[in-house]
Chain A
């Protein structure tokens, strides 16, 4: 970094006014007997972005805190950070090379969509059952393994759809059976500590699945063949394909943005399934019943919904979503019995970041983590360290979010908790 003094000076200034804004704003609002629930976030972001000027305005006027009031200072803080970075390191690729930035953003978006999709399953399970499934990564792994065997080993002539469907059906059934056999003691009062029981039993399932696959399949990395090759497209002309140019495994847009085939397929599938899931949850009776149980189990039961059946459905559906993410990515990454560990950990981060139990929050959280990881990998000046910190980027965002907004981005104040009872 060319002018690191400027960068760290401004960061220090932002932190100082951010912390001051967070602490003092809450006290000012409390003093005036106003709602203080989001004062920490607004105070800190306004302080970081505008320093004492914006804070003085906030403390004098103490306006009601709306979503817009949270959003704009947050965006302004990001903008100030980016401006400072570009002034401090004018030779950085993220400052000088527009196509590089566009590629990193598209990469971040695509991987973020996939992250968010995988986290959907986890948040769905949590919102209904109040259980954090520690076997989520293993369902992801199994989804990929089943797809690999169907598409590459057993029935390579059948095409990928059969393999993906097989992965979805198998994991749906596995999830449903597991929920019926092992999680029902939580609801019937057979265990003293249902939350701890839920954690331990899903941990047990995770180990069982992982070592079962290792014992039966082996621990060598495998990979499914690309589901399909991109057709050869060159637009607007074959001589000057500045708009779009494809090869078997890659697509290039505007001569700048490069998207690999497996990633593109996975992201498109994730978006389609996300939309289908949203339709299912908002437009169908069963989906509404699931949401009702996540809001209030007792009220849902009074309305004629069987919460226990919804538990089973949620766990099966959540497990299937993880498996579907795995099924789509087994053509992109080398696959091992332990492949689910990192995505599962990332899903936990995303779910908490997006707000426990919030499906749009999980998706938004995934996209944010994807973009932050891409920005960190692309922009940190030291190339040797930029990619080494990938797991830390999400954790930094999570820590900041939890400090300023403990419910996460779109989370409810009381999201399920002790098995749906608040």
Chain B
């Protein structure tokens, strides 16, 4: 009887160890989701840049030995920049593709729509380029962000606009999204604090024809135009405004983020010289070795002049998750969150860390809820194209003074 029991025991032990081995085998490679808009109406140029950067992150992490003895695999998912699509995509990444964490994402609306799903399923998510304050403001355990808050980004916009000599009126063109609406409100509020009036014009994300709205903008006689549109709508508005005599060469004009994609900017907005553009991340002259190396690889692969800031963010969103798993020694969501809250990750954007979270609430330092799981040291600058065909990384930084590399030229 004893023999039978011991045989059964040994068999059970072998079965258990085999199943444990196969579980480990099944978890290799470790899958990390990578959100990016790769179809219209999303900002496809931005999405492709983020996708390429996340694939570089996968390559570099695997070349450095992978994570927990496994290679990692970044599962790219196309959000199309649409919130309704994003929710489904996040669900699919988690339930079908079996990702243990998620990085990337460009549009705020995508972040807002998908964060509840990843949080409910205990999947740590590091948003790379989603600015809406509520993404971290809801203080969800599994949600982190390395992009600036919308309120900070708006600060760059209105503070640099207020430097325009004799500015009285500003026209703000924004998209009706979770990014555009709050960004426009915060920008208008900031301008008002400097006694500058503003009028906001809202448009749908995929708008092509701006002729009617441009006439309306002209009628307000603005001294400065701020565009908060993502995707090709940003190009369409800028060139149509230039055709109508209120483009970047006619009056101070701050283009949307898509203008950082220099090649596409000059092709789609040939009259786009003198445009101001907000740029995230440290200036090229201050890049660390990691950023310089990534930039070289990226340029060689894409043929572009330089890597975009959102691509750097996407790269770091994957990198920081990988490091968190290594430090947590696990792919368990709770352990990764703990590791992220204690992390000090040297990324392409600089040293990334999260001072506020479950250990310390933002209110302890008198900060708002949006500081929860938020990297605080995002560098925000305003550049200006000052030569036709110029690359965004070669363009002078005109604000803030800490990073300034050239003087702003105010046309008109």
Contacts and interface: CB of A to CB of B under 8 A. Distances in A.
A131 to B, nearest CB: 26
Contact of A219 (B38, B200, B235, B271): B38
A191 to B, nearest CB: 31
B388 interface: no
A222 B45 CA distance: 11
B215 A383 contact: no
Contact of A390 (B204, B244, B267, B270): B204
Interface residues of B, number: 44
A226 B176 CA distance: 30
Given A93-B216, A221-B44, A223-B268, A384 B202 contact: yes
Contacts of A220: 44-45, 48, 261, 264
A373 B212 contact: yes
Contacts of B202: 383-385, 387-388
B41 interface: yes
B201 A250 contact: no
Contacts of B232: 221, 334, 336
Interface string B245-267: 10000000000000001001001
A333 B219 contact: no
Contacts of B245: 247, 250, 258
Given A336-B40, A338-B40, A387 B213 contact: yes
A364 interface: no
A319 interface: no
A386 B216 contact: yes
A93 B236 contact: no
B332 interface: no
Contact of B243 (A97, A261, A339): A261
Contacts of A208: none
What range describes how many residues of A lie at the interface?
A: 35 or more
Nearest to B220: A383
Interface centre among B203, B212, B240 (most CB of A within 10 A): B212
B209 A111 contact: yes
Nearest to A258: B244
A342 B219 contact: no
Nearest to B238: A334
A334 B243 CA distance: 14
Contacts of A391: 204
A374 B184 CA distance: 24
Contacts of B41: 338
A337 B40 contact: yes
A88 interface: no
A106 to B, nearest CB: 9
B206 interface: yes
Interface string B207-237: 1111111011011000000000000100110
A152 to B, nearest CB: 8
A107 B201 contact: no
Which 3 A-B residue pairs are closest in the complex by CB-CB distance? A377-B212, A338-B40, A260-B243
Interface of B: 38-41, 44-45, 47-48, 174, 176, 184, 199-204, 206-213, 215-216, 218-219, 232, 235-236, 239-240, 242-245, 261, 264, 267-268, 270-271
Interface of A: 93, 97, 100, 103-104, 107-108, 110-111, 152, 214, 218-223, 225-226, 247, 249-250, 258, 260-263, 332-334, 336-339, 341-342, 373-374, 377-378, 383-388, 390-391
Given A260-B240, A374-B211, 19 more contacts: A100-B219, A107-B211, A107-B215, A111-B211, A220-B45, A221-B44, A249-B243, A260-B244, A262-B243, A334-B232, A337-B39, A341-B206, A384-B184, A384-B202, A387-B201, A387-B204, A387-B212, A387-B213, A390-B204
